[in-house]
């Protein structure tokens, strides 16, 4: 075996090891992405249930408020003006409190959703940076060696 053939075999062996390492890394990366996607799907389903519960609760609360307001309107004719104004102020206060609670519930769910999305994005970026660096190194050092 000549010296030149040994160099080619060493280069080919090194190249095969390098490519094998990249393939193994990509397989691991794909597995991690699939696992993250599965977790994101589970979180999506969990948040979907929360949103459904939120809107059901909001509808039930709204229906209750409407029914209460109807009853109050029917009693309006029987009550004096001062009593009605006091009751109206109470209803307004209850409605504003309810709106505040709904806003807090919505913001809490939205913050949870946003945190999960940001965490997933950062995890994806951190996993991609080494691959991009490896590809850059490959193109920076291997491409000039290839004759045109």
Please give, one letter per residue, the 3-state secondary structure of 70-89: HHHHHHHCCCCHHHHHHHHH
Alpha-carbon span 94 to 90, nearest angstrom: 6
Phi-psi region of 66 (alpha: psi -120 to 50; beta: other; left: phi over 0): alpha
> Is residue 136 included in any domain, yes or no?
no
Q: What is the pLDDT along the chain (148 residues), one digit of tens a residue?
A: 555 666 667 878 878 888 888 888 888 888 888 888 888 888 887 878 887 888 888 888 888 888 888 888 777 666 677 777 888 899 999 999 999 999 998 999 888 988 998 999 999 888 899 999 988 988 888 777 777 6
Of 29, 36, 30, 32, residue with least CA distance to 130:
29
> Is residue 142 included in any domain, yes or no?
no
Which pLDDT does position 29 carry in this prediction? 85
Q: Which residue range is the domain that position 14 belongs to?
A: 8-131
> Is residue 36 included in any domain, yes or no?
yes
Number of domains in the chain: 1
> Is residue 78 included in any domain, yes or no?
yes
Which pLDDT does position 4 carry in this prediction? 60
> Is residue 66 included in any domain, yes or no?
yes
> Is residue 2 included in any domain, yes or no?
no
> Is residue 138 included in any domain, yes or no?
no
Alpha-carbon span 132 to 21, nearest angstrom: 14
pTM of the complete model beyond 0.85 = no
> Is residue 40 included in any domain, yes or no?
yes
């Amino acid at each position: 075996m000549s010296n030149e053939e040994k160099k080619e075999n060493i280069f080919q062996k090194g190249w095969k090891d390098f490519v094998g390492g990249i393939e193994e890394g990509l397989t691991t990366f794909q597995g991690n992405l699939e696992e993250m996607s599965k977790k994101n799907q589970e979180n999506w389903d969990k948040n979907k249930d929360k949103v459904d519960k939120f809107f059901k609760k909001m509808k039930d609360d709204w229906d209750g408020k409407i029914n209460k307001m109807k009853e109050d309107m029917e009693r309006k004719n029987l009550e004096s003006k001062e009593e009605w104004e006091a009751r109206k102020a109470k209803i307004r206060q209850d409605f504003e409190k309810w709106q505040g609670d709904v806003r807090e519930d919505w913001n809490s769910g939205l913050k949870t959703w946003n945190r999960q999305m940001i965490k997933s994005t950062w995890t994806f970026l951190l996993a991609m940076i080494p691959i991009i660096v490896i590809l850059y190194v490959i193109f920076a050092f291997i491409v000039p060696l290839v004759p045109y």
